[in-house]
Structure 1
């Protein structure tokens, strides 16, 4: 399926959200429901990825089993410090109660597991639109 999607969306990259199969399933589900229209990652991880999202580029989103579930298109990328993330980005991430407090706690935990957490760390914030559900 992923190969068919790469033909339909030339240049598409494939990846899963989060750091566990459960998180990949949950966050992909939020995208399909239209609740999640943004994500972020540490700038250091972004720089070390073999393939990174680009503005206008397509991403094939994988579930926890590595299966394609939807396709998104990146509409913006920006660098923001963890401490400067606001309510707008937190709610667009679509997680929990959509509050900045929830976002800060969940992402502090995530980036701590990744080993990159710092209050002033730089993040790559990506906003996207859902273009296809597989």
Structure 2
């Protein structure tokens, strides 16, 4: 049996679980990261390198399990050409809003049109049991 992977959606602070709530509500079905960061784990609750078919337990920023998702597709996209299914799946109203938010959240990077992101497309499988 394959080990389940873990993922945490980051918010503005440890109390911001809005992205997890969007996943649970079925609004968020895509997440994007830089190519470099996508393949790198980020601690106990972020394995990185997710592949199609992976079953992933999603935790909030306080480490609580919230739901389980299945990876459906992994795709490399360019910052200057954000597909509609990506910006919609990330809960944005346009490709321009996707770009604006990512520029604001990643000020240390030069996000030019050719900059590549990896997108993880997923489906909600189950909610985590209440504590």
Please, what TM-score do these two structures have when normalized by structure 1? 0.80
**Contiguous gaps of at least 5 residues in structure 1:** 1-8
Pairing of 1:39-118 with structure 2 (within 5 A): 39-49=31-41, 51-95=48-92, 98-112=93-107, 115-118=108-111
- Partner of 1:29: helix, strand, or coil? helix
- Partner of 1:27: helix, strand, or coil? helix
**Count of residue correspondences:** 121
Listed one character per residue, the Cα deviations across residues 95-114 of structure 1 (whole Å, up to 9, x for unaligned) are: 4xx222221111111222xx
RMSD, aligned CA: 1.9
CA distance in 1, matches of 2:105, 2:55: 24
Contact 2:10 2:61 in 1 (8 A): no
- Partner of 1:104: helix, strand, or coil? helix
Between structures 1 and 2, the one with greater helix share: 1
Could you list the structure 1 runs, at least 4 aligned residues long, displaced by more than 6 angstroms after superposition.
Answer: none
